[in-house]
Structure 1
């Protein structure tokens, strides 16, 4: 597949867009076949496109319940799409090429660099190998732990299948589950084992493969962590802690009230971890207070780490914006994080990504507010969930009109690839400017 796109001489962003689009179309064709459903019915193609997009973009929003509608074959197709979408089609293509002993061309390395969000191509193939090893190992351990736990609740074969499906889904931050009836993990709201394993998989998938690699080398070889890894780890811990405190405070006398103290703490932590950007939930999100729902919207918009299986504007973008505010409020020219000065282009990119993401969310939410009969907070929730490739839902998605499903499909696609990558792919080629305009003065209040 990668060689085919290379022959077309497409730019790396366009190769990524075309690759993901092709996977979605092929996935939709498979999901629309009678063998993909339990009752042998054919899923409407627009619903198949929505589901394939949600799986490939590792989101988790569904218009039909995964556990009750799809057959085992259909669920395995979803699992394949989730794995390909989480790792990226170029990573999977590189894996196949390496297994066949083929050489990775310079152009393919450039596409891998774009896909992994790296600033240079040095060691990119070695990084891909490590990504695959990390992914398979973590998913296997997660599947084993889930199997052991669920073997107490169901037959061993079913427990093993459930363990594999949810380990892959949660590590890739997809949010799909096969428990049925749109329940997600609500039956395990106060189960410490299921909660901790799930959160560990989600966090590992969300911090990014580069950070996992550096943490591993830091512990094993004593190598220093880069600025990127320090920012991702610090912001991840900060957002989880703040999120848990906010959810605990707002929901203490609401959805948390029936739970004991262990359940309250676990539920608060879990609902703080999953909006960035896993899509599983242990509380009924439709029953949350609007303040809690709005706070989850903020977390979903932020997302997790770059080069990971997560979406959103990314926590490094948020850290850059925080640094910009801090520097400006103190009258300083340089933005400094962990004693490192950020280059101006990083700041420009952070502002651009944020504004483009915000613009997309605003436009889609406004259109949906005219096509759908629902409260605006629920519409905004589903929109940001799609953009952040989260998959959390207040229950609105299955009731969306066809226009709403198309809009959210496009939003999930843009959120997974990133608005900036999509703009590069769809826009005209860039040319180096041969001159600079004169500097002007603009009053900013």
Structure 2
């Protein structure tokens, strides 16, 4: 009996595509996380009771590094629970295949072609070569950043007497560093980083860490390669960045700048925050970065007006760059979609940028992903509007936060019905994996192109 079951599992494993295996691995990681979060020793003695559905919601939110929760984390988990969350943030942020690959490298095991294909799909890479080097470089760099800035935050908290002793400062400093880099956004204190809303140096460092986690792993490796290339050749040779790196940085900068300006103008100079131009500008910049990736907040979301909340929902829907810890439609996808609209209006057949032409296949993928992501979020809002007793704006905000794996909320997460929680869980899972891979999960084999073409006939459009 066991032998037959084992043989059947192996057959299914061979038949499955890399995308299907990848989704299955994230599903298994979610189940394991669910079991760990049900353990009693990670919870406070007087913690309120959490249901199995709440723990499953938390498991998916953790693996997708979203930050939404149906219960106050600071009232449920003890220090061991917070440490467990930090470990799970690494699983959700780095990805299952990356951590598995690092473990195989450390133990000296051989990494086969199948494992390399899984890494390629998980990190959304166009080429199979250099996967192991990419994984080890990214992992080492991200861990180093988390540790270094965690120690700096700890020393800073000790110097400012934020906590009573260094152990508490180290505990919270490491958590903030890990949470910012992995873009998790879970609030374990009840105030997020609101006590530092006027500490502009601290906020700038947090924004840098969030950008490091959300800019995309290939971008980080190319910047690292550029740095060592400059040291080696001392400017004698020119380093060539890939088109993806240029687009990822370009659109991340554009969305950050435009988001900052729109948020600043929307709040009329910070009407709900503070009558200080510098403070209002820093708040607008912080939320322009945090809303697309991390979900960290320096004040209550209910302080903003409706226009600002819609802008934040749009930024959350856009999300981070591909091959990063963030979710959403992704910056380059939206960027290519905008460039396509611009080229279509100008009557151009091709999209040319940075002296390169974007392929027709990538343009089609961008259009499909944006269209289906919009349809998915609209459908989720329709379902929630029928099942939940909450304002429409709150539902739109919650859906955008879940799909963008951001974690910001207007305070309706804990009051969602069973159907509402399931809808949000599906959105978080799809937002982490990506809409394109969700579609490819249901495709067993790529359809072959027909060797013949049907006659073309014009139809009326518009």
Asked if TM exceeds 0.5, the reply is yes
Alignment correspondent of 1:36:
42
Query: 1:407, 1:7 → 2: CA distance?
Result: 29
1:173 equivalent in alignment to 2:183: yes
2:174 equivalent to 1:164:
yes
1:199 is the counterpart of 2:202: no
User: Where does residue 390 of structure 2 map in the other structure?
Assistant: 374
Which residue in the other structure is 1:441 paired with? 458
Q: Report 1:258-407 matches (<5 A).
A: 258-407=274-423
Higher mean C-alpha displacement, 217-226 vs 254-263: 254-263
Cα contact 2:264–2:270 (8 A) shared by 1: no
Question: Per-residue displacement from partner, 1:333-358 (whole Å, max 9, x unpaired)?
Answer: 11112121111000000011111211
Kindly indicate whether the alpha-carbon contact (under 8 Å) linking 2:216 and 2:323 is maintained by their aligned counterparts in 1: yes
Work out which of the residue numbers 210, 221, 224 in structure 2 matches 1:216. Answer: 224
Does the 8 Å contact 2:387/2:420 carry over to 1?
Answer: yes
Of 114, 119, 125, which aligns to 1:118? Answer: 125
Pick from 83, 93, 106 the counterpart of residue 86 of structure 1: 93
* Cα shift at 1:227: 1.1
In structure 2, stretches of 5+ residues that fail to align are 1-8, 231-238
CA distance in structure 1 between the partners assigned to 2:223 and 2:12 by the alignment: 38
1:8 has 2:13 as partner: yes
Change in 2 beyond 3 A, CA 1:5/1:104: farther
Contact 2:272-2:304 within 8 A present in 1 as well:
no
Q: Equivalents in 2 of 1:38, 1:411: separation in Å?
A: 30
Q: Report the Cα distance in structure 2 between the residues aligned to 1:336 and 1:31, rounded to whole angstroms.
A: 49
CA distance in 2, matches of 1:229, 1:37: 43
Output one character per residue of 1:169-225: Cα deviation in whole Å (capped at 9) or x when no partner.
111111113222xx2122211111320121011001110111011122223314221
Structure-2 separation of matches of 1:199 and 1:6: 47
Task: Report the CA distance between 1:7 and its aligned residue.
Answer: 7.7
Which one has the largest radius of gyration? Answer: 2
My pick for the range that moved more, 253-262 or 109-118, is 253-262
- 1:92-127: CA deviation from partner (whole Å, max 9, x where unpaired): 111111111011110111111000100110101110
- Measure how far apart 1:5 and its partner are: 8.0
Does the Cα contact within 8 Å between 2:68 and 2:408 map onto a contact in 1?
Answer: yes
Distance (whole Å) between structure 1 residues aligned to residue 278 and residue 151 of structure 2: 25
Deviation at 1:145, TM superposition (A): 2.1
Between the aligned partners of 1:375 and 1:202, the Cα distance in structure 2 is 30
State whether residues 277 and 303 of structure 1, in contact with CA within 8 Å, keep that contact through their aligned partners in structure 2. Answer: yes
Q: Deviations over 1:211-252 (max 9, x none)?
A: 011122223314221111111111111111111111111113
Q: Which deviates more, 379-388 or 166-175? A: 166-175
Shift of 1:165: 1.3
Deviations 1:394-423 (A, max 9, x none): 111111112111110111001100122112
1:183-194 equivalence runs, <5 A: 183-194=191-202
- Does the aligned pair in 2 maintain the 1:323–1:337 contact within 8 Å? no
Which whole-Å CA distance do the structure 1 matches of 2:90 and 2:10 have between them? 21
Per the alignment, do residues 440 and 114 of structure 1 end up closer, same or farther by CA in structure 2, a change over 3 Å counting? farther
Matched residue of 2:154: which SS?
helix
Distance 1:157 1:265 in 2: 34
Alignment map for 1:64-103 (pairs within 5 Å): 64-103=71-110
Structure 1 residues 415 and 257 mapped into 2: Cα distance closer, same or farther (>3 Å)?
Answer: closer
Moved more, 83-92 or 7-16: 7-16
Counterpart CA distance in 2 for 1:75 and 1:207 is 26
Alignment of 1:135-150 (within 5 A): 135-150=142-157
The answer on whether the counterparts of 1:190 and 1:262 sit within 8 Å (CA) in structure 2 is no
Q: TM-score, normalised by structure 2?
A: 0.92
The equivalent residue for 1:408 is 424
SS in 2 for 1:8: helix
Name the SS for the 2:441 alignment partner.
helix
| Aligned match of 2:70 | 63
Kept after mapping to 1: 8 A contact 2:270/2:280: no
Is this contact kept in 2: 1:311–1:416, CA < 8 A? yes
> Could you tell me how far apart the structure 2 residues matched to 1:414 and 1:255 are?
36
Say if 1:6 and 1:107, in contact at 8 Å, map to a contact too: no
Stretch deviating more after TM superposition (263-272 or 6-15): 6-15
Deviates more, 1:53-62 or 1:423-432: 423-432
More off after superposition, 380-389 vs 9-18: 9-18
